[in-house]
Amino acid sequence: MELLAGAKIIRLRTHKGKYLIAGDDEESVRQDRDGSMKQARWRVEFVDGNDGVRLKSCYGKYLTATNEPIVPRTKGHKVLQTLPTRLTSAIEWQVERQGSELRFKTHYGQFLRPYGGLPPYRNRVGHDVPCRTHTEDKILWELDILESVDSVKSQENAIH
């Protein structure tokens, strides 16, 4: 969790160099190589009482683990942007460090992961448990801290 300490705005990059992107429809989540767009920026909210975080898109919606399958009759589930009426475990992610990379785990033990390959999987993002050792690296995310709490405080002090 120390990698996220003090982070306010982050960007997450997959092992293939694609970024976690909030879809323009303000509901979907996908991957894209262009990390400079505003949709690649996620606000970090720390959950009191545990090591969890909530990630909020540029549209003010939370990264949410759903029970809806990515494709019918598959084990992977969709990740969406939602604005729930109350804060639940579906929008909380436990952060685990592995070297310099992070894994984001749901309350039920599944991991945020990018999907690739042919449609309908191409550039999708979901959550599940990798079933093979060669897919374990697919749940690892590289972290870019774009704005930290300290940088915001120093900007505020410079103004005053």
In a domain, 112, yes or no: yes
In a domain, 2, yes or no: no
Domain that holds residue 117: 7-159
Over the stretch 46-64, which tens digit does the pLDDT of each residue have? 998 777 999 999 999 999 9
Over the stretch 90-113, which tens digit does the pLDDT of each residue have? 999 999 999 999 999 999 899 999
Over the stretch 78-89, which tens digit does the pLDDT of each residue have? 999 999 999 899
Q: Of 97, 80, 83, 90, nearest to 23 (Cα)?
A: 80
Give me the number of domains the chain comprises. 1
Task: Identify the band that residue 159 occupies on the pLDDT scale cut at 50, 70 and 90.
Answer: low
In a domain, 148, yes or no: yes
| pLDDT on residue 20 | 98
Q: Of 25, 16, 29, 134, nearest to 80 (Cα)?
A: 29
In a domain, 1, yes or no: no
One-letter amino acid of 16 = K
For residue 38, give the DSSP letter: G
CATH, residue 66: 2.80.10.50
The pTM of the full predicted model, rounded to 2 decimals, is: 0.90
Q: Name the strand (E) or helix (H) holding 152.
A: helix 149-159
- Tokens for 4, please give them: 């996220």
Over the stretch 108-155, which tens digit does the pLDDT of each residue have? 899 999 998 888 889 999 999 887 665 677 899 999 999 998 765 555
